[in-house]
Structure 1
């Protein structure tokens, strides 16, 4: 349940200040605040968008690349052993001459493993190794908290990902698919040739991989279906699942991986396993093998030569409308920092955020939680029984701010061998991460773990942990600054904080209790009324025209509920301050959502992202607040007007 969505090539942009167009405030609030900025903003060639969140990402990139340049020259000394290993990996990533010299040879042993498979018996003999190496498999396994008892881990058995972004792309007549599949074909065919395959063999492999992918597509969930979290929880006896698959030794493989045999597993997509036996047949084995080969080739995109990276990114750039690849220097930075995320986050958090700011922002979060609690107490549609349980859940909420107190011990296991290739070092780290992941089995759940590092411009609520997390990177202007008024800060970081709190009570979070377990704590009448309110939020957004397509109200409902609750709660907090300025509050809300993006990227997000488009997040939610109308004198004839009985108010 993240506040925003970023691709691997994170957008960036400049942060110039432009005046508000007073004539548009009651007609298109977002454009009134951001229109002049949008006229001047340019999307950099190596990005798919620019604006609000992206400015912060760009600034952090600039800052840390400069710092780590000093780290490489010795001007900056590693603060800990983990940072010393990061330095070695970053050095290897930037040793472009060595990467060219190594070529694609490091990939060949992994391609040979797949290419050498003879049949399913042969695959079963190696399947546990496949998982330990992180190679593509037709059944995905992960060890995650059990959604009905989050103190313990469960084994989730899932379907693999598709080539195209979503199941809906496979529907007949989908225009995006017609454009994307040929580009995917060209991309992978060229990668296979760079890896040593002749043109005819490469073309055959890609064609067979696409055939297998097309067989998978009808049986997996769409993004809209996946957005309903609780429907991921489908427990089955492992023996029953294994009986659905004639040619794959699922139980034997799981037992080898976990050193234990679970009696029960969770199927997030049970319809896939109803069909999987018709997919994994001897007749389809060559298709499956080609599909696995394509996965191995594509996953190596960033770790080999410059040509391999440039070619490998072609499909992703087509998806997002990005005009060019990142520079090799930036790519090396993101590869190294992504691998050592928590280590880099610890450095960034301690240097640019610090313990004092950490304590200060924590107090802000506690204050917002207090405002939220008061709103729950005075809620006029919840019964006392449900309201009391909601307050208990809020009081049990875990708050994480800035960066973890300690670096995850996992990173102390990372060792870089400077005599080996970049690919081999990354593979070794991947194997450590995978072993650690499966090693969670049988252990109590670690609730101290962070899913985002401190340099990430984002925030999230975890329903299974009942926690809200605010990395240091988002805790700066325009979200929060001592130079901004309290109202502007509430319109920025205040709304972000309350947004994440609201996720505890959105259509997904509301189904989890204070311990993070699936548990209906609502009275029947209250739940029915809440579902009616959620349906009103779906209706408010569903079908809005945007970027040549339409918004999916069901896909975006949880984030829209959180936006609505967050903005409403932040507004109440702003009004409690002596220097209240609601104009500044609303304008900063619109300001943080400024975004200019390629059409391809906007259409991609409309298909798969649980967030509504940024402009609509700014424009639609303010229409639900009575104070917006009085602040800007919005009248019934104005485009920003919404009749009182149509305004959606949940939290």
Structure 2
């Protein structure tokens, strides 16, 4: 048994087995009954414990929005919530959307089909519109001085999920679906068949060029590799086919002294990709992206015509209902507003105080583990503890709503015009941050999102109200169960401060090496062991890439270890902790979705997160009396512990 690849336990982890023992497959022992009794909703591509919470939250908020819109319930005094409801009403008016058809986009579509040269796309007005471009600028904190902002230059996205997708045998079929979808949409919008064919074929040619140059998901997972500050003269010297100096001046008022290049390889190839010789391809690419991106704001016919490619990628059987789409659009456009409303309405102070207490306990447990660490020097330990104690906590929902929402408006003329105008305002708001100090109070997630995060550049951890409920957290549950749920999530986010990316930032969020040379060499060695631990694991119709998912795996490992320590200090039942840890990762998905998400996600699949991380913990073997002959056994010398 020990010579086999049993990472993740014995058996096919994608298939329920109610008879399996936790000693052979912890994940299936805990989740099989749930998996058998929970079907994937017809308008989704997966169902997971996260999703079950999200579905219930969505039901509540959809009902609230329906009641607000009908006047059955008074809209509470949450800033800009009234605008969110007006947006919802506009999106839900399918009589108008169906009557308008493609009319709302005709002016912009005509503008795109009339393009004659690269110079026309290199203007501020074009840049801030609803048009795809073969480059982008955004303003974000400077990694080495997070008090100030800087300009980031980035490459565009691809049609398929990742660069590796183009080498997969399924790529030809997927691109054929995309091609047919784009052709149908363009013809529905009034473009002649022959012309539509030319646009789409050119789009696919340009996308193929991009796929050979842009970063893969594995490369993008190395967060600090995206920090490449470049002097303006050196940056502009690489772009000779656009008046990039004029564009930068127009976008920012004055040219920045430095531009951070997210993808240096793309900049090196920019001129050979973006030039007049390739203009027909670029034009087709812009038009094709446009029609695919705006179709969802038009009639039901356009919505349905824009569904096949997403269906092919994800396996999702049906399009979401019209009213669900209306709510989701309002939620997306006014995310912070809806999140604050949700937090104020459904999140209790008792839960917040209890979770805050647990966070402090997890920080204490983490500090204890750092102090007792047997591979770090005292010098590095002290600096790690300084960073740990500097963590900023964001729990529930923010105290303020970002100013951008004051600027958003609802235009009764059409949903498309509303989205277009608000998109322009959002882009301009971001660009305007360049010469302003960084706002460290900004939240990266709204209160109604079932998730949590760590921001290395602010050294803060965010726990939205939505995730602070069962199975992650229950104010009435015993402590061990909560440690296995929200406790591991809390410590997971703390661990991101010390993963392969976060470990390069100091307590202020600055990119700064605070390690001794010897300690960092040992950390890299252990990081490689974590990569090797997951690399090559077969998961259904996919194979995991250990390097792509290493940062999240380090956080999972550190999170579970710290939660175990905290639980042990309170005399908690280790079995309950591990069972709930496995429970929170319960889920299933269509094979198409599984293949897509594994190619791009920096997280391991839930079943592997549950099983492989448990296999590293001595307490797991003790709690369930796991023997060498059992499926979950892993030889001690193969187990990986970092934090």
Residue of structure 2 in register with 1:565 after alignment: 558
Which residue, out of 235, 260, 269, partners 1:275?
269
Q: Distance in 2 between matches of 1:312 and 1:185?
A: 11
Q: Name the SS for the 1:639 alignment partner.
A: coil
Residue of structure 2 in register with 1:48 after alignment: 45
Which residue, out of 589, 592, 596, partners 1:597?
589
Residue of structure 2 in register with 1:169 after alignment: 165
Q: CA deviation at 1:548?
A: 2.1
Residue of structure 1 in register with 2:9 after alignment: none
Which 5+ residue runs of structure 1 have no aligned equivalent? 1-18
Matching of residue 222 in structure 1 with residue 216 in structure 2: yes
Cα distance change, pair 340–123 in 1 and its aligned pair in 2 (3 A): closer
Which residue, out of 358, 377, 386, partners 1:392?
386
Matching of residue 153 in structure 1 with residue 152 in structure 2: no
How many aligned positions are there? Answer: 627
Q: Greater shift after overlay, 366-375 or 488-497?
A: 366-375
Q: Distance in 1 between matches of 2:381 and 2:17?
A: 41
Q: Name the SS for the 1:386 alignment partner.
A: helix
Which 5+ residue runs of structure 2 have no aligned equivalent? 1-15
1:262-301 equivalences in 2 (<5 Å): 262-301=256-295
Q: Greater shift after overlay, 193-202 or 205-214?
A: 193-202
Q: Name the SS for the 2:297 alignment partner.
A: coil
Deviations 1:518-572 (A, max 9, x none): 1111001100101111111111110011122211000010000000000010111
TM-score, normalised to structure 2's length? 0.96
1:143-542 equivalences in 2 (<5 Å): 143-171=139-167, 174-418=168-412, 420-542=413-535
Q: CA deviation at 1:20?
A: 9.9
Q: Distance in 2 between matches of 1:200 and 1:20?
A: 54
Residue of structure 2 in register with 1:135 after alignment: 131
Q: CA deviation at 1:180?
A: 0.7
Q: Distance in 2 between matches of 1:357 and 1:642?
A: 38
Given that residues 354 and 475 in structure 2 are in contact (C-alpha distance below 8 angstroms), is that contact kept between their aligned partners in structure 1? no
TM-score, normalised to structure 1's length? 0.94
Matching of residue 30 in structure 1 with residue 27 in structure 2: yes
Q: Distance in 1 between matches of 2:574 and 2:531?
A: 27
Q: Distance in 2 between matches of 1:37 and 1:84?
A: 39
Residue of structure 1 in register with 2:604 after alignment: 612
Q: Name the SS for the 1:175 alignment partner.
A: coil
Q: Distance in 1 between matches of 2:40 and 2:557?
A: 29
Q: Distance in 1 between matches of 2:60 and 2:441?
A: 28
Cα distance change, pair 246–36 in 1 and its aligned pair in 2 (3 A): same
Q: Name the SS for the 1:347 alignment partner.
A: helix
Q: Distance in 2 between matches of 1:462 and 1:474?
A: 17
Q: Name the SS for the 1:219 alignment partner.
A: coil
Q: CA deviation at 1:256?
A: 0.3
Matching of residue 87 in structure 1 with residue 85 in structure 2: yes
Q: Name the SS for the 2:80 alignment partner.
A: helix
Cα distance change, pair 581–208 in 1 and its aligned pair in 2 (3 A): same
Q: Distance in 2 between matches of 1:234 and 1:165?
A: 25
Q: CA deviation at 1:282?
A: 1.6
Q: CA deviation at 1:409?
A: 2.0
Q: Distance in 2 between matches of 1:492 and 1:639?
A: 24
Residue of structure 2 in register with 1:11 after alignment: none
Given that residues 41 and 596 in structure 1 are in contact (C-alpha distance below 8 angstroms), is that contact kept between their aligned partners in structure 2? no
- Greater RCO, 1 or 2 (C-alpha within 8 Å, sep 6+): 2
After superposition, the CA RMSD in angstroms is 1.4
Q: CA deviation at 1:301?
A: 2.6
Given that residues 60 and 455 in structure 1 are in contact (C-alpha distance below 8 angstroms), is that contact kept between their aligned partners in structure 2? yes
Cα distance change, pair 21–627 in 1 and its aligned pair in 2 (3 A): farther
Q: Distance in 1 between matches of 2:357 and 2:19?
A: 35
Which residue, out of 544, 549, 554, partners 2:547?
554
Given that residues 542 and 594 in structure 2 are in contact (C-alpha distance below 8 angstroms), is that contact kept between their aligned partners in structure 1? no
Structure 1 stretches of at least 4 aligned residues deviating more than 6 Å after TM superposition: none
Given that residues 372 and 569 in structure 1 are in contact (C-alpha distance below 8 angstroms), is that contact kept between their aligned partners in structure 2? yes
Given that residues 42 and 317 in structure 2 are in contact (C-alpha distance below 8 angstroms), is that contact kept between their aligned partners in structure 1? yes
